[in-house]
Structure 1
Amino acid sequence: MRSNVIRLAFGGDERRFQEFLDELRRALPANAAAVLRGSAVTGVRWNDGAPFDADGPGTSDLDLTLVGADVLDWYTEDGFYIAEVHSKPLSDKDPDIAPPLVPLRRKLSDMVSRPVNIQGTRDWMMFVREYLMGQPYLTLIGKVEDA
């Protein structure tokens, strides 16, 4: 999965991937984890099976999920699907639901020349998504089960 992510989302450039991880490490609390989900991991869009960047370079977004109770504090009350458990993604659709994350989203999006959407969730939701919903993810920072 890691090599797929580097190839698709970072143009095969390991250095760019490491810089992305470094930026995440600086921004996250020590007890948080970060994972990447979606077509950057699987290579295809979930809704239509189209390949990553099917609409041209930089058209597929990155689905970044921050895992841990502390990161959920960054989301506004209306920024949740399930209150205090699973947020909506900070994205162009919902650009104001996590004000402390806006600068990070902007920086990460600039680094990869594509939108980076940032969701927050609890560790057990990642279990549900992976094992019950069949949504694989790549852990970028930390350990999901410790977040």
Structure 2
Amino acid sequence: MFDTPQPPPEPPPDQMQGGLAEADKRATFIRLVFDSDQRRYEAFRQAIVDAVPAGTRVVVRGSAVTGVRWKDGASFDADGPGTSDIDLTLVGADVLAAFTLTGSYLPGVHTRPMGEEDPDIAPALADLRAELTAMAGRPVNVQASRDWVIQLRGDLIGQPYLTLIDSEPPA
């Protein structure tokens, strides 16, 4: 039997990004999305590890991390339970290839989100999206980017994101 790959360790809890500590972002995400159930959170992470290429970094942005919508300041699930989505970004060159040309803002660099509006732009990731949506009980939007796009949006512009899975080079 093969061992199931395990998610790499999460970043240090005191690491700051987007004005928030990693531990605070993680606690908010687990509380809002998984009703504070650490096991459901770990199962969600594991499903991603099992489906994406080795070395893929995975981050979550948006109200699932901050607790409020950027656009209007409304709280997470302001429109009712399960109405807020999860904005999942897969970071790495290999995963960008899963998206069609029409699914990209800039091919090979940054994609549109695969979600309710564009469910067919990354056929190889459709099963993962469906599984994550079922696990979370809410829509999960999946997009892919290069690391420098995440750095630009997150570190230079200050958009908070939670690192679910830090990249590790393939063994």
Query: Where does residue 49 of structure 2 map in the other structure?
Result: 25
State whether structure 2 residue 149 is matched by structure 1 residue 138: no
SS at match of 1:71: helix
Bigger shift: residues 59-68 or 28-37: 28-37
Query: Where does residue 63 of structure 2 map in the other structure?
Result: 39
CA positional deviation for 1:103 = 0.5
Cα-to-partner distance string for 1:95-130 (whole Å, 9 max, x where unaligned): 110000101000000001100000100000010011
Compare the two structures and name the one with the higher helix fraction. 1
- The alignment-based identity, stated in percent, is 55
Cα-to-partner distance string for 1:43-99 (whole Å, 9 max, x where unaligned): 100110000000111000000000000000000010111121000000111111000
CA positional deviation for 1:29 = 1.0
Query: Where does residue 101 of structure 2 map in the other structure?
Result: 77
Give, in whole Å, the separation in 2 of the partners of 1:135 and 1:80: 21
**Which structure would you say has the larger Rg?**
2
Cα root mean square deviation, aligned: 1.4
TM-score (norm 2): 0.82
Give, in whole Å, the separation in 2 of the partners of 1:143 and 1:96: 26
Letter in 1 for 2:87: D
- Matched residue pairs, number? 146
TM-score (norm 1): 0.95
